[in-house]
Structure 1
Amino acid sequence: MTTTAPTVLFVCVHNAGRSQMAAAFLTHLGGDRVAVRSAGSAPADTVNPAVVEAMREVGIDISAETPKMLTAQAVQTSDVVITMGCGDACPYFPGKRYLNWKLDDPAGQGVAAVRPIRDAIEQRIRVLLTELDIEARA
């Protein structure tokens, strides 16, 4: 019996902060047992440097990541769609699991303000992994 890894899509407005951190944590902790994507309804040009630094502090390098545009296909081909302030821009498809995580926006914030957002995202990712019946990697 073969099972395919669930696909999780993280969406925020700029795909430069919250969704990038969430995708990085899920990739880091879930490994190849989960497929991870992130996108934004109005993507920025680059990932927030304070977010890159905050993630580097916990040993995860996202400096090569680039914000991506949200597409209906990305939503349609995902099992779980987690929004973080994308408003009504995220298309809805029946049969998908949708979660809305209310988190502060790190845009324009320094590393000190990003750290608690990062830590909250990591905790939510660990809960998500449990819900998906995937053991987090050490």
Structure 2
Amino acid sequence: MSDKPSVLFVCVHNAGRSQMAAGWLRHLAGDTIEVRSAGSEPAEQINPVAVEAMREVGIDITDQTPVRLSWDTAEASDVIITMGCGDSCPIFPGKRYEDWKLTDPAGQPIDIVREVRDDIRSRVSGLLADLQQRR
């Protein structure tokens, strides 16, 4: 792992969970970690309820756009976090993987999306502490 580790968050649509996780890691780590997110079947836009839930905690993810997962992006990442994409998230050899079981916020009311947001924050905090300890 280089001096500045890179983390890739992957979910199917890259519109909710992975975008919230990337937003949290950018917020908590600043520029100490390179943060990426992608989807195996990206949506056209970020879930507006996820945007609102993140806005409530002072994190703006409106400038993010769902993108398709590419081999190059995965290959350039030190850690790959998958979120509910099962077999549609390919495995890239030699990478550290974690699979986070999280409720899909798509179509969920704001109360459920807040719970997902807070669960993601807790997991991202743990990931960040681990990455900082390894440096």
What TM-score range do you get, normalising by the shorter chain?
over 0.9
Displacement of 1:95 in angstroms is 1.9
Displacement of 1:9 in angstroms is 0.1
- CA RMSD, aligned part only? 1.1
What's the counterpart of residue 44 of structure 1? 43
Task: Note the residue ranges of structure 2 that are not aligned, 5 or more in a row.
Answer: none
Could you state the TM-score of these two structures normalised by the residue count of structure 1? 0.92
Displacement of 1:91 in angstroms is 2.7
Displacement of 1:90 in angstroms is 2.5
What's the counterpart of residue 60 of structure 2? 61
Displacement of 1:87 in angstroms is 1.6
What's the counterpart of residue 17 of structure 2? 18
Displacement of 1:111 in angstroms is 1.2
| Native 8 Å contact 1:80 1:97 kept in 2 | yes
Residues 71-113 of structure 1 deviation map (CA, whole Å, 9 limit, x = unaligned): 1111111000000012222232322100000000000112111
What's the counterpart of residue 93 of structure 1? 92
Q: Distance in 1 between matches of 2:101 and 2:90?
A: 18
Amino acid at match of 1:84: M
User: Which 4+ stretches in 1 moved above 4 angstroms?
Assistant: none
| Native 8 Å contact 2:12 2:89 kept in 1 | no
Q: Distance in 2 between matches of 1:85 and 1:33?
A: 27
Matched, 1:84 2:77: no
- Among all aligned residue pairs of Structure 1 and Structure 2, give the percentage whose two residues are the same amino acid: 61
Matched, 1:114 2:113: yes
Q: Distance in 1 between matches of 2:48 and 2:122?
A: 22
Provide the aligned length of Structure 1 versus Structure 2: 132
Could you state the TM-score of these two structures normalised by the residue count of structure 2? 0.94
Matched, 1:8 2:4: no
